[in-house]
Amino acid sequence: MIVDGHIHAGYWSPRMFLGRGTSFEAMEACLTECGIDGAILTSTDQRDNHSVAAFIAGSNTKKYWFFPWVKPGVEDDLAYIRENRAVIHGIKLHPSCDKIKVTDVKAEPFLRFAADEGLPVMVHCGRWQEMSSYRFALEAAARYPEARFILSHMGGDTPELEMGTIRGITGGGLDNVSLGIEGVREYWAVQKAVDELGAEKVVFGSDFPLGHPRMYMGLVDALKLAPGQKRLILGGNALRLVGEE
């Protein structure tokens, strides 16, 4: 089973990515074209989690797993994940868009909830080191060893940040951290992650509709992988993280 581990279902606000977005139908058509069987869906900076949940509830052609985008400090978002626990499979935090570090005290109730409920936490990691550094995400992972973290963009989409993330995970002995490959150009950094952390810690994702799944399926194709490793990266790891295996 091939699973896209990182899709933004819906439209970004005009100030982000030129307001780029996708209808649910166009998203599903793209997945079908790519031979993808399912996907982890989150929202955009508009945090229209209700629409994503409604789409998933009404969908029967593919498997979808829902990671609502939550903003630390917003009581409604905390209430939302508590009330909708039955239909969520993880949570998504975006420190850059929401301007709240994952180590901020406001994020604690969300991380506590994920840890208690066994839900994975997907954390956007980017170049803005004061806000969305992989270091903060690793700090949170160390603080909540019972929660599983997925660091988007392999900890930040530059060679230095990707390598720093791999070193931080091995140096910290962190067993609860996986890396998403969406947005990464350095295929060799992904190979390094496979070699150093193991294929079971690398998760295929596209960031659709910002990226296209074929871009990252191509990246995975370029790696030196055993068939079992490739299956893990393209779907097995995502399935395990959402509790399907």
Which residues of the shown chain bind Zn ion in the complex (CB under 5 A)?
Answer: 207
Helix, strand, or coil (residue 99): coil
Residue among 188, 221, 192 nearest 204 (CA): 221
- d(C-alpha 126, C-alpha 157), whole Å: 6
Q: How far is the CB of 131 from Zn ion (least distance, A)?
A: 15
- d(C-alpha 79, C-alpha 124), whole Å: 22
Looking at the Cβ atoms of 140 and 225, the one nearer to Zn ion is 140
Q: How far is the CB of 185 from Zn ion (least distance, A)?
A: 15
- d(C-alpha 223, C-alpha 183), whole Å: 16
Q: How far is the CB of 153 from Zn ion (least distance, A)?
A: 8
> Residue type for 60, please?
N
Residue among 125, 78, 122, 74 nearest 101 (CA): 125
Looking at the Cβ atoms of 28 and 207, the one nearer to Zn ion is 207
Q: In this structure, are strands 38-42 and 63-66 parallel, antiparallel, or unpaired?
A: parallel
In the beta sheet, which residues pair with residue 179? 151, 202
- d(C-alpha 212, C-alpha 234), whole Å: 14
Q: How far is the CB of 168 from Zn ion (least distance, A)?
A: 21
Looking at the Cβ atoms of 206 and 229, the one nearer to Zn ion is 206
Looking at the Cβ atoms of 157 and 207, the one nearer to Zn ion is 207
Q: Which residue is nearest to Zn ion (CB)?
A: 207
Looking at the Cβ atoms of 4 and 207, the one nearer to Zn ion is 207
Q: How far is the CB of 44 from Zn ion (least distance, A)?
A: 9
Q: How far is the CB of 4 from Zn ion (least distance, A)?
A: 11
Measured CA distances, 20 to 94, 163, 212 (Å): 17, 29, 13
Looking at the Cβ atoms of 98 and 207, the one nearer to Zn ion is 207
